[in-house]
Structure formats: structure tokens, C-alpha cells
Amino acid sequence: MKPSKILSEGSTKFFTFNQNNSYGEWDFDHRAGLSLAVVIEARDAAQANALARLIGIYFNGKGDCPCCGNRWYQVDDCKGEESFDPEDSYMLRPEYPFRERAGGPVLYVHYLNGRIVGYGPAEEAEGE
């Protein structure tokens, strides 16, 4: 299925969390919908950050490389978008160098209703 622009439902927005490869390593948990980037639909940044924590995104940097920086950073309200278009993600482009390292989708969209949709180099995966 070809990605298409996703519109938020009413008063929600989409917040993008991009993973920094601390220590030169990536964290993946495809069952939880965690990959190189995670997009979360939420009412505001506080809710997006809370939902991110539930799937394994952390913001304290504990155990991350002091040189590379934290693996994940919190979002704020100004980062919320009314819509999200997976086709605009540079991670889905063939020239993106880390696509194959993901071993599955490179990008997951987590909807407020609990639906998770993954977009990746070889195929699209959908979770419950």
C-alpha cells in the first residue's frame, strides 16, 4: 500500500520522535512499534511524550553515549503537525543509508486510538 497523507482527527496533532544512534547503535522493537523514527498522534506534546514512554522511548539519557548525546528527546507543542505524510520522510527514500539496518519498518505511526502502522524499505507492517 502506498503511503498517503494522514490527517489528524479533530484536535490532535502528530509529533515526530527521531532516534539518535547513541554509541553508534540503534534500538528497535518492532512489536512495540519502535524504530528509527516514531510518529505519535496526541492532543498535545505532554500526551505525546507520555505515550512515547509507554512504547519504550526514554528521555533521561541514562546509559547513552556522553559524546553522541541522548537517544531520544522530548517534543514540545510547537513541533506538532496537523497532518503527517509518510512520503515526505527522508527515511523512506532509497538513498537513506540506515534503511536496511532497521530489519523492518523504519518509521511507525502510533494513532491515538491504538492503531500502529509501520513504513519500511521492503514492506509495510501493521500492528494491533
Q: How confident is the model at residue 100 (pLDDT cuts 50, 70, 90)?
A: confident
What local confidence, expressed as pLDDT, does residue 102 receive? 80
pLDDT score, position 127 = 44
pLDDT tens sequence across 58-81? 998 888 888 888 999 999 998 889
For residue 123, name the pLDDT band (cuts at 50, 70, 90): very low
pLDDT score of 10:
66
Q: Are 97 and 105 in contact (CB under 8 A)?
A: no
Q: What is the pTM of this model?
A: 0.83
b/e per residue, 76-105, with b = 16+ CB within 10 A?
Answer: eeeebeeebebeebebbeeeeeebeebebb
Q: Does 128 score more than 50 pLDDT? A: no
Give pLDDT tens digits for 11-59.
899 999 999 988 888 889 999 999 999 999 999 999 999 999 999 999 9
15: closest CA among 92, 63, 73? 73
pLDDT band at 120 (very low <50, low <70, confident <90, very high): confident
* pLDDT of 1 strictly over 80: no
Grid cell 531520544 in the structure block, residue: 72
